[in-house]
Amino acid sequence: MKTIFSNSKYKMYKWILFFSFMLLVIATAFFLSYKTTDVGASPSMIVRENISFKNDVQPILERRCTKCHGGEFPSESLNLESYESLMVGSQNGEVVIAGDSSNSLLFEQIESGEMPKRGSDLTAEQIELIRQWINEGALNN
Ligand code: HEC
């Protein structure tokens, strides 16, 4: 080292290294606090049939979506507070096509992580529940 850097220059590089390391730590902390995992969800992946709107799907929508898609002025006029309003869709039309999750805008948006617009993505399990519920006919069950 002493052949490349004079003593003071070497010290300066040490400081630069130290500061970039601190910057990395701070950036990582920010990233982690933004993309927190969904603590309420159970870790196991469900593969079962007869998903219930009331018991399985609605609690997810209530917890993660209705803050924006509910109330007096729901985002994009999409109200996710009830089965009926969900099936009406948004100002652009239907967001759930019964039996066809791959053509359902709502599924596309949660699978891509586009929605929920704030906070962590839905867990793989929550996404799978909604996918299955749509494919089973999007029933009010
Ligand atoms: C923080 C507010 C917020 C939350 C939470 C949120 N959304 Fe949205 N959503 C929006 C806004 C705003 C738009 C309009 C498009 C945009 O800005 O990206 C939108 C658009 C959509 C659309 C597209 C509607 C259309 O016809 O274009 C769907 C579907 C949707 N949201 C579903 C959901 C679902 C499902 C959840 C919960 C898992 C959710 N959103 C959570 C704010 C939110």
Q: What is the distance between the alpha carbons of residues 47 and 132, in angstroms, rounded to a whole number?
A: 9
On whether the CB atoms of residues 26 and 115 are closer than 8 A, the answer is no
The 10s digit of each residue's pLDDT in 23-60 is 999 998 888 776 555 544 444 455 578 999 999 999 99
- Would you list the domain boundaries of the chain? 1-34, 53-135
Q: Report pLDDT for 12.
A: 87
* b/e 90-101 (16+ beta carbons within 10 angstroms → b): beeeebbbeeeb
Q: Report pLDDT for 79.
A: 98
Distance 96 CA to ligand 1 centre (A): 13
Tell me the H-state helices in 35-82. Answer: 58-64
Q: Report pLDDT for 4.
A: 59
Q: Does 141 contact ligand 1 (Cβ within 6 A)?
A: no
Q: Does 75 contact ligand 1 (Cβ within 6 A)?
A: yes
Task: Label residue 6 by pLDDT band (50, 70, 90).
Answer: low
56 contact partners, CB below 8 Å, separation of at least 6: 129, 133
The 10s digit of each residue's pLDDT in 92-135 is 999 999 999 999 999 999 999 999 999 999 999 999 999 999 99
Q: Report pLDDT for 2.
A: 54
The stretch 54-81 carries a mean pLDDT of 98
Beta bridge partners of 90: 93
Q: Report pLDDT for 10.
A: 81
Q: What is the distance between the alpha carbons of residues 18 and 13, in angstroms, rounded to a whole number?
A: 8
Q: Does 57 contact ligand 1 (Cβ within 6 A)?
A: no
Check: pTM over 0.85? Answer yes or no: no
More confident residue, 85 or 37: 85
